[in-house]
């Protein structure tokens, strides 16, 4: 039996593996990666490395074993057949007879087009017969704090989200929830709606940035069309720009407020405040 993490060297996956290594022996962890070189450090610590690609179904042949617990981290190639990619993993998990497949999905309240692939994957997972848990991750602090350059260049936070609020948390928080499910019991058939303890709005985000930098940073609320023009003008492909504009529209409707408290209960502590993530990003 192994705990298997797909996308193990990605933004979320590396947090999951690091936290797993605090709880279980390295030999019980399998990191699934596309580039073995990126996992050299994990291999040196005793983690089993498996090279596989969602776009190559044969690469998952024999990768899983009966009794494994698997974390399927959703693919990030928007508009490139993500559901088909996820089905590759689900089918391989079913064939092997894994004990649990946990999937990183998205809050059920989100209606933006970004959610479509996740909904379809959830349906396929439910129909597969594989024991599963849905980790419906809300928004990450890092979606904003890792992209501060344009904000600091123009002293403005630009979004088409109106006065909408977001229950974001850190990647490390969501990783801790995944680890709790992968190492715990009684999570089969559960769907966890995960988000930060404190929702915030973009005006508050701009105010926190101002406080931390000593500069006057404002929130510039724009329309979806204006944001689309800004994003495509900066070189973002039109389909991806539409995804981001759609998410902001969902934020404006309150769809990324996740009031369940599931995340803090799963991880056994309060979630990371946005202010802490801002401070860390500015320090870096």
Nearest CA-CA partner of 257 in 138, 116, 86: 138
Percent of residues, the chain, with pLDDT higher than 70: 99
- Reported as a pLDDT band with limits 50, 70 and 90, residue 193 is very high
> Which tens digits make up the pLDDT trace of 46-91?
999 999 999 999 999 999 999 999 999 998 776 668 999 999 999 9
Domain boundaries, the chain: 3-137+171-194+259-271
**For position 76, what pLDDT does the model report?**
76
> Which tens digits make up the pLDDT trace of 147-172?
999 999 999 999 999 999 999 999 99
Nearest CA-CA partner of 164 in 93, 256, 81, 80: 256
Q: Is pLDDT at 14 greater than 90 in this prediction?
A: yes
Topology at the third CATH level for domain 3-137+171-194+259-271:
Rossmann fold (3.40.50)
- Minimum mean pLDDT range among 77-81, 138-142, 204-208: 77-81
Question: For the chain, what is the largest distance between any 2 Cα atoms, rounded to a whole number of angstroms?
Answer: 57
Give the span between the Cα atoms of 171 and 188, in whole angstroms: 23
How many CA atoms are closer than 13 Å to the CA of 245, on its beta-carbon side?
Answer: 18
pTM of the model: 0.96
Nearest CA-CA partner of 94 in 67, 129, 124: 129
Give the span between the Cα atoms of 165 and 109, in whole angstroms: 13
Mean per-residue pLDDT over the chain, rounded: 96
> Which tens digits make up the pLDDT trace of 169-178?
999 999 999 9
- Reported as a pLDDT band with limits 50, 70 and 90, residue 35 is very high
- Reported as a pLDDT band with limits 50, 70 and 90, residue 225 is very high
> Which tens digits make up the pLDDT trace of 250-281?
999 999 999 999 999 999 999 999 999 999 99
Strand (E) positions, 89-229? 100-105, 132-137, 156-159, 165-166, 191-194, 200-201, 218-221
Q: At what angle do helices 11-20 and 171-183 cross, to 10 degrees?
A: 50
SS in 3 state form for 15-60? HHHHHHCCCCCHHHEEEEECCHHHHHHHHHCCCEEEECECCEHHHH
């Amino acid at each position: 039996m192994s705990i298997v993490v797909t996308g193990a060297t990605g933004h979320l996956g590396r947090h999951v593996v690091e936290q797993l290594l605090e709880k279980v022996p390295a030999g019980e962890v399998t990191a699934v990666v596309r580039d073995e070189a990126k996992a050299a450090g994990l291999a040196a610590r005793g983690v089993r490395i498996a090279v596989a690609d969602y776009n190559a179904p044969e690469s998952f042949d024999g990768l899983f074993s009966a009794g494994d617990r698997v974390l399927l981290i959703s693919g990030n190639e928007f508009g490139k057949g993500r559901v088909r990619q996820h089905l590759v993993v689900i089918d391989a998990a079913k064939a092997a007879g894994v004990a649990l497949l946990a999937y990183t999905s998205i809050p059920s309240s989100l209606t933006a087009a970004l959610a479509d692939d996740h909904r379809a994957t959830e349906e396929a997972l439910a129909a597969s017969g594989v024991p599963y848990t849905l980790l419906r991750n809300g928004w990450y602090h890092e979606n904003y704090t890792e992209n501060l350059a344009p904000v600091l260049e123009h002293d403005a936070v630009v979004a088409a989200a109106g006065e909408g609020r977001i229950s974001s948390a850190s990647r490390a928080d969501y990783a801790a929830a995944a680890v709790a499910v992968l190492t715990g019991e009684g999570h089969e058939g559960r769907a966890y709606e995960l988000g930060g303890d404190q929702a915030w709005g973009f005006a508050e985000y701009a105010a926190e940035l101002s406080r931390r930098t000593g500069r006057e940073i404002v929130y510039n609320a724009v329309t979806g069309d204006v944001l689309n023009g800004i994003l495509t003008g900066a070189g973002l492909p039109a389909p991806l720009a539409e995804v981001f504009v759609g998410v902001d529209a969902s934020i404006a409707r309150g769809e990324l407020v996740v009031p369940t408290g599931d995340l803090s209960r799963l991880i056994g502590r309060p979630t990371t405040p946005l202010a802490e993530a801002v401070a860390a990003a500015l320090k870096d």
